[in-house]
Chains A and B, each alone.
Chain A
Amino acid sequence: MSSMFFQCLQAMLMLLMAPVLAGFLSTLKARLQNRHGAGILQPWRDIRKLFGKEVVLAEHASWIFRFTPYIVFTATAMAASVVPALLLDTPLSLTADVIALVALLGLARFFLALAGMDIGTAFGGMGASREMTFAALAEPAMLMSVFVLAIGAHSTNLTTMISHTLTTPLLIQPSIAFALVAMLMVAIAEAGRIPIDNPTTHLELTMIHEAMLLEYSGRHLALMEWASMVKLLLFSTLIIDLFIPWGISVESSFIGVLLAFVIWLLKLIVLLVALAVLETSLAKLRLFEVPQYLGTAFVLAFLGLILHYMLEVGA
């Protein structure tokens, strides 16, 4: 039963930590750019404020537009609670493997894009078109890089994949390095960060994700923003799980989980610092250079796969 408790704890933690880490990231970026920044808790304040605000719907918004925030938030939260962050073997982690996880995020994106088209503004359609196009290119690259690990572990279950990484002796595996680079590239694209998309922009012609949210207000907007923060945390945790899982708690003991929490937080901070430095030093890519970027990620992941067969299995 204690694993059930830790499962709930972990899911809550993922949801509650997401805005804090988003705040941490934006503060870090602000500091790097010689600004003071609004503080780590600012996203939480925003969400709280938005929850209290009135919702205004466009006149002919359909039920799709109204229910999409709930679907997007629920699907993302469901995906987040499946990923093992602290405890290796949680009850929910078996309900969806990596492929189902990607598909859950796909479901969220599907509805998000539909909501973008529901009002019938040019911006919404533009955002939907771009988001779906780039997601379609990113998804194979992401699955390919996951496959490199899945084929090694003979499993797509995150728990099994992590324990496979934990139990095999530490070797230099070029294939995994390739998969990691591909995964990082895709994660940046999927989470809508610079250089693919800029979450803080409101310049119409450059935005992708934000263009679909333009018509949202109040609690709907809060849920959408929260979901995208959870998504960032989810991808970070996924990268940690797949590539640097050492430190995750194998048994459901209180001390072990606490220790795992500290280590997880440290790893997250390292990833976010890297992301902040990257976002500060890079400019946004031109829109039609994004396919090339994602294609590179795909080629890298595929090379990783070939190398896995060549160097690690075939030898």
Chain B
Amino acid sequence: MMQSLALSVALLACGSVIMAAIVAPMLQHQQNIQRALLCGLLGLTGLLACAAGFSGLMNDGGNIILPLGLPWLPMHLRVDMLGAFFLLVIGVLVFPVAIYSYGYLKHEQRLTPLAIFLPLFVLGMMGVVLADDAFSFMIFWELMSVSSYFLVTHEHQYIENRKAGFIYLLMAHMAGLLIMGSFATIYASTGSFEFAAMRDAEIAPLWASVAFLLAGFGFGTKAGVVPMHGWLPDAHPVAPSNVSALMSGIMLKVAIFGFIRITWDLMGSGDFQWWWGALVLAAGSSSAISGVLMALQQHDLKRLLAYHSIENIGIILIALGLAMLLAEAEYPTLAALGLIAALYHTINHALFKGLLFMGAGAVLHSTGSRNMEAMGGLIHRMPWTAALFLVACISISALPPFNGFVSEWLIFQTALMAPQLDGTLLTAMVPFSAAMLALAGALAATCFVKVFGVVFLGHARSACAAEAKEVDVWMKLGMAIPALCCLLLGVLPALFIPLLDRVPYTLLGTSLLSTLASGSGSAGQTSTALSWLWLTPIGAAHASYSAPIILLGMLVLGGLVFWWLHPKGIVIRRSKMWSCGNPHTHARMQYNATSFSQPLRRIFWDVYQPEEHEHAERRQHKLLTTRVRYVVHVSDMAVKHLYQPIGRFTLWIAKALRHEHQRDIHAYLAYTFATILFLLAAFT
């Protein structure tokens, strides 16, 4: 047993969150204290998790065996590099969300369920990251799933919420089953539930593939990989916004963590087969594209963000798939680069998606609506929320100088530096996935122009948007922290990457910087005093990007132009808008979410297969139109062509078997008898 600072702090974080789960529900009658305690302890947990993550990444982690759990299998906990990084991801979002929740939950009537399940949810996620044996991993995993189910159905008075919650629970359990199957497969070849033993064991290639597939589908379901994403766009919108921020920001990442843990850590990169990486790459590309395409057609703000989570999980998987392909082809340095890109995008997505959901929550809080078609002009009434939301929009659109660009840039570099792999298909797949990444990024920018433009700019489209108020200081503060992190991670990636670089060192035995430092030539540049300025993952001659210089250059140049052009002491004249001289403008004549995405709906008609209804009322003559009504509905193809047939098939089987349930007692006795016979035959 090896104790360390990181592990102690991590255990402290768990302790604080357990305390929140126990103490906060007891204060049912003093809502203010309950809220303060809940948010305070959650915030503390976040800070501690951050600290544990940092110290785990800087120094070595440790492990501990707690006398909990099964008699022959005590609970193994461990902080390794991978776990420490994900602890950091958890902490960095839990902290601001806790602050935000203090404001967001002010008018919440039923606080107690949240006070129980929110800490348990966070505990489950931290436990998964810390677990060092399959048993405690699954315990914490299920804790995370079940508590998040109760959070999703928090507002259970609405039927759609219960429905979304049910689908979520169903798919989460299916995922749990698959993951358990994966562990069982590995257990079959190692004979131990402890991760340490699993790491050392050799697994036959066939069983390794089975375990990989089970883990891939299990964690993929939880992460929302297309086509197993059916639960995600329903569950995220109905949860309270602070919970959606955590679910989308971290819980999906915990699924990614589980996937990396099983494939990279427990099985090891030596076991990779060429089609694993190809499969992950294909799943990533298809998730990225279909996620963003579906997001473009949404007008429910939170549902749109949920589809973007699918897109970003796809992007992370593209990076992971590249890394797996490269690790299999024995290019460890490039594989390390791909892994770093995946992890970088993981933390980036946690930050900006958390921020986006918090912003959506702020908008929902003050307008009472999630429908984008009812909003508009909120930038005038909610300036802070608008500015912070804009930061997240730019980040997720992968535009400099914010963080989303850095991780996508790293993925592009991985794809471009990849040498020719075996076989034309693989070789062509790598640049093709890079192109899909480019398409996804550009479509995401389109989508977020739509979001920001429709929600915050223009005129208010309804009374609720016209009377919106800015949110309180806690919510603003909660949103400001991730916004700042987005900027920092975007401008100073060169400081953060050495920290990340330790993860591939433990998983691959190679780290990016060490190979570069030992290499000759231009790589030497990275170790100069100005290394924080330059992001040169493979050496300056190949690719370099300097966000600080670009940001500084833009600030200086923009400042100069502004100073030079701006007349001093003259107030700019305001006037009615021109609009090509058309005086009859109305808020409803603005482009809204549906019209903004109309060109794409038409271009990708075959993908969407939208149901359009146009209804025109005419008086006397067909040219005298008085009123036109246009209704369009875009349904998720996966739901339509995969989930519903499966559902129908299951029902059909159930109906076919129905009469077997309506027999008399003898039939049931006969079933029991047959089962006993079967079991006896099978196990002797």
The chain A residues found within 8 Å of chain B, CB to CB, are 51, 54-64, 66, 70-71, 73-75, 77-78, 81, 92, 94-97, 99-100, 103-104, 106-107, 109-110, 113-114, 116-126, 128-130, 132-133, 135-140, 143-144, 147, 150-151, 154-157, 160, 204, 214-215, 219, 223, 287-288, 291, 298, 302, 305-306, 309-310, 313-314
Interface check B485, CB cutoff 8 A: no
Looking at the assembled complex, report how far the CB atom of A215 sits from the nearest CB atom of chain B, in whole angstroms: 6
Q: By CB atoms of chain B within 10 A, which of A100, A155, A291, A302 has the most?
A: A100
Give every chain A residue within 8 A of B595 (Cβ-Cβ): 125, 129
Quick check: A117 and B453 within 8 Å, CB to CB?
Answer: yes
13 of the cross-chain contacts (CB-CB < 8 Å) are A97-B545, A114-B449, A117-B454, A120-B376, A125-B458, A133-B446, A136-B439, A136-B443, A151-B416, A151-B431, A155-B542, A215-B578, A305-B431
Quick check: B572 and A57 within 8 Å, CB to CB?
Answer: yes
Which single member of B442, B457, B579, B591 contacts A114 (CB below 8 Å)? B457
Interface check B15, CB cutoff 8 A: no
Interface check B400, CB cutoff 8 A: yes
Give every chain B residue within 8 A of A154 (Cβ-Cβ): 416-417, 542
Give every chain A residue within 8 A of B442 (Cβ-Cβ): 106, 135-140
In the complex, A120→B417 CA distance in Å? 45
Give every chain A residue within 8 A of B589 (Cβ-Cβ): 121-122
Quick check: A100 and B550 within 8 Å, CB to CB?
Answer: yes
Quick check: A129 and B596 within 8 Å, CB to CB?
Answer: yes
Which single member of A56, A118, A214 contacts B579 (CB below 8 Å)? A214
Residue of B nearest to A62 (CB): B379
Quick check: A291 and B553 within 8 Å, CB to CB?
Answer: no
Quick check: A118 and B458 within 8 Å, CB to CB?
Answer: yes
Residue-wise interface mask of B (420-435) relative to A, using a CB-CB cutoff of 8 A (1 in contact, 0 not): 1000100110011011
Quick check: A103 and B596 within 8 Å, CB to CB?
Answer: no
Interface check B377, CB cutoff 8 A: yes
In the complex, A313→B579 CA distance in Å? 55
Residue of A nearest to B597 (CB): A129
Looking at the assembled complex, report how far the CB atom of A77 sits from the nearest CB atom of chain B, in whole angstroms: 6
In the complex, A122→B386 CA distance in Å? 22
Quick check: B380 and A62 within 8 Å, CB to CB?
Answer: yes
Quick check: B399 and A99 within 8 Å, CB to CB?
Answer: no
The 9 A-B residue pairs whose C-beta atoms are closest, nearest first, are: A125-B591, A117-B453, A120-B458, A58-B577, A136-B442, A132-B446, A74-B558, A139-B442, A140-B438
| Total number of residue pairs linking A and B with CB closer than 8 Å | 255
Q: By CB atoms of chain B within 10 A, which of A63, A122, A160 has the most?
A: A122
If over half of A's interface residues share one DSSP class (helix, strand or loop), that class is named, otherwise mixed; here it is: helix
Give every chain B residue within 8 A of A119 (Cβ-Cβ): 458, 577, 579
Interface check B602, CB cutoff 8 A: yes
- Whether A117 contacts B542 in the complex (CB less than 8 A), given A70-B561, A122-B590, A309-B427, comes out as no
Quick check: B438 and A305 within 8 Å, CB to CB?
Answer: no
Interface check B598, CB cutoff 8 A: yes
In the complex, A110→B441 CA distance in Å? 12
List B596-648 residues whose CB lies under 8 Å from chain A.
596-600, 602-603
In the complex, A103→B591 CA distance in Å? 26
Quick check: B591 and A157 within 8 Å, CB to CB?
Answer: no
In the complex, A156→B542 CA distance in Å? 6
Which single member of A104, A223, A288, A309 contacts B400 (CB below 8 Å)? A104
Quick check: B579 and A77 within 8 Å, CB to CB?
Answer: no
Which single member of A59, A77, A140, A314 contacts B435 (CB below 8 Å)? A140
Quick check: A75 and B554 within 8 Å, CB to CB?
Answer: yes
Interface check B274, CB cutoff 8 A: no
- Whether A104 contacts B431 in the complex (CB less than 8 A), given A51-B565, A125-B591, A156-B543, comes out as no
The chain B residues found within 8 Å of chain A, CB to CB, are 376-377, 379-380, 386, 390, 394, 397-400, 405, 409, 412-413, 416-417, 420, 424, 427-428, 431-432, 434-436, 438-439, 441-443, 445-446, 448-450, 452-454, 457-459, 534, 540-546, 549-550, 553-554, 557-558, 561-562, 565, 572-580, 585, 587, 589-591, 595-600, 602-603
Q: Beyond the given A100-B545, A156-B416, could you list 5 further A-B residue pairs with CB under 8 A, ordered by the A residue number? A: A60-B380, A117-B454, A137-B603, A156-B543, A306-B428
- Whether A95 contacts B546 in the complex (CB less than 8 A), given A114-B452, A136-B442, A214-B580, comes out as yes
Quick check: B580 and A136 within 8 Å, CB to CB?
Answer: no
Quick check: B427 and A121 within 8 Å, CB to CB?
Answer: no
- Whether A313 contacts B420 in the complex (CB less than 8 A), given A70-B558, A302-B435, A305-B431, comes out as yes
Looking at the assembled complex, report how far the CB atom of A301 sits from the nearest CB atom of chain B, in whole angstroms: 8
Give every chain B residue within 8 A of A135 (Cβ-Cβ): 442, 445-446
Give every chain B residue within 8 A of A63 (Cβ-Cβ): 379
- Whether A74 contacts B554 in the complex (CB less than 8 A), given A151-B416, A156-B412, A160-B541, comes out as yes
Give every chain B residue within 8 A of A157 (Cβ-Cβ): 540-544
Quick check: B542 and A113 within 8 Å, CB to CB?
Answer: no
Quick check: B412 and A99 within 8 Å, CB to CB?
Answer: yes
In the complex, A62→B545 CA distance in Å? 32
Quick check: B543 and A95 within 8 Å, CB to CB?
Answer: no
Give every chain A residue within 8 A of B543 (Cβ-Cβ): 97, 155-157
Give every chain A residue within 8 A of B399 (Cβ-Cβ): 103, 106-107, 110
In the complex, A147→B416 CA distance in Å? 7
Quick check: B420 and A123 within 8 Å, CB to CB?
Answer: no
Give every chain B residue within 8 A of A309 (Cβ-Cβ): 420, 424, 427-428
Quick check: B445 and A132 within 8 Å, CB to CB?
Answer: yes
Give every chain A residue within 8 A of B420 (Cβ-Cβ): 309, 313-314
Which single member of A92, A94, A118 contacts B457 (CB below 8 Å)? A118
Give every chain A residue within 8 A of B432 (Cβ-Cβ): 302
Residue of B nearest to A116 (CB): B453
Quick check: A133 and B449 within 8 Å, CB to CB?
Answer: no
In the complex, A125→B598 CA distance in Å? 12
Quick check: A107 and B394 within 8 Å, CB to CB?
Answer: yes
